[in-house]
């Protein structure tokens, strides 16, 4: 019998952790707890963990490092909690691989709502990357950190990777710039839509052979799409 999917709360403040557990359990979720960074990283890799609520300031290993290491091997959704709520802090967390960000003090009900929203955005079983997506010479290794062109690994920034993976989840579908911001950086992202254009230009310089768009395509009047595998069969 497979274990029930669970929310992992990594939080060293016992009162905060117990409060979140209470609200999440009342909302119908199974909950696991970890009190420090190393324990959180270990438990986050369990197959039953469907989402991680991760505090930034943790003993042993801070939340940013936990997030970075976890994202290197898993696509499990990560909701970060922090007392630092500047735009730079939020962007740093997202660039490390977090899916959303909540500032302290927070409403436990808001955390539950964001957990539900992240789970709706994440396909079932998303903690395990799917099969690599191959479009011509472009290979996207599931939702991991590796992208290759003609067998050569391409170095992408975290923001470029998030944008490419958002497109790769639905090849062929045209996304508006607003949709891509929400899918790649969270529904509350306040970045300007032209930020997407900048990331697309940078991506194309790295993944498009000869600089001619073959994989990351512009859809006039809409936004962008990733080519379907059969377009390069």
Strand runs labelled E in the chain: 6-10, 30-34, 49-55, 78-82, 100-103, 133-135, 138-140, 147-149, 152-153, 175-176, 216-219, 223-226
The least confident of 96-100, 139-143, 154-158, 198-202 is: 139-143
State residue 185's pLDDT score. 67
Domain range annotation of the chain: 6-121, 133-232
Question: So what's the pLDDT on residue 153?
Answer: 86
Specify whether the CB–CB gap between 130 and 142 falls below 8 A: yes
Mean per-residue pLDDT for 63-80?
A: 86
Average pLDDT over residues 69-82: 84
Taking domain 133-232, whether its CATH number is 1.10.10.10 is answered by yes
Mean pLDDT of 148-170: 82
pLDDT tens, position by position, 105-129: 889 999 999 898 888 765 544 444 4
Model-wide pTM > 0.85: no
- Give the helix, strand, coil percentages of the chain, each rounded to 5: 40, 20, 40
pLDDT in tens, 163-221: 888 888 788 999 998 888 877 766 555 556 778 888 899 899 999 877 789 999 999 99
Mean predicted lDDT score pLDDT of the chain: 83
What is the C-alpha separation between 210 and 36, in angstroms, rounded? 48
Query: What is each CA distance from 220 to 1, 132, 148, 164, 226, in whole angstroms?
Result: 50, 28, 27, 19, 14
pLDDT at 144: 52
What pLDDT was estimated at residue 88? 64
Closest CA to 189 of 74, 91, 47: 91
Task: Return the DSSP state at 47.
Answer: T
Was domain 6-121 assigned CATH 3.40.50.2300? yes
């Amino acid at each position: 019998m497979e274990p029930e999917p669970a929310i992992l709360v990594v939080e060293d403040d016992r009162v905060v952790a117990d409060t979140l557990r209470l609200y999440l359990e009342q909302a119908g979720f199974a909950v696991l707890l970890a009190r420090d960074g190393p324990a959180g990283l270990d438990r986050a890799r369990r197959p039953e963990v469907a989402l991680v609520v991760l505090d930034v300031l943790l003993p042993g290993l801070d939340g940013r490092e936990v997030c970075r290491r976890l994202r290197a091997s898993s696509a499990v959704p990560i909701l970060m909690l922090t007392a630092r709520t500047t735009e730079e802090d939020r962007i740093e967390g997202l660039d490390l691989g977090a899916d959303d960000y909540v500032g302290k003090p927070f409403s436990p009900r808001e955390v539950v709502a964001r957990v539900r929203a992240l789970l709706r955005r994440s396909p079932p079983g998303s903690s395990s990357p799917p099969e690599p997506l191959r479009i011509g010479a472009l290979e996207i290794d599931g939702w991991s950190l590796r992208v290759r062109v003609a067998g050569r690994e391409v170095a992408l920034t975290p923001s470029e990777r998030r944008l490419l993976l958002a497109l790769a989840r639905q090849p062929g579908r045209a996304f508006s710039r607003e949709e891509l911001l929400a899918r790649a950086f969270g529904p509350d992202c306040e970045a300007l839509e032209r930020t997407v254009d900048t990331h697309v230009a940078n991506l194309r310089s790295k993944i498009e052979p000869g600089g001619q768009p073959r994989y990351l395509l512009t859809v006039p009047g809409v936004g962008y799409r990733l080519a379907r595998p059969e377009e390069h069969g």
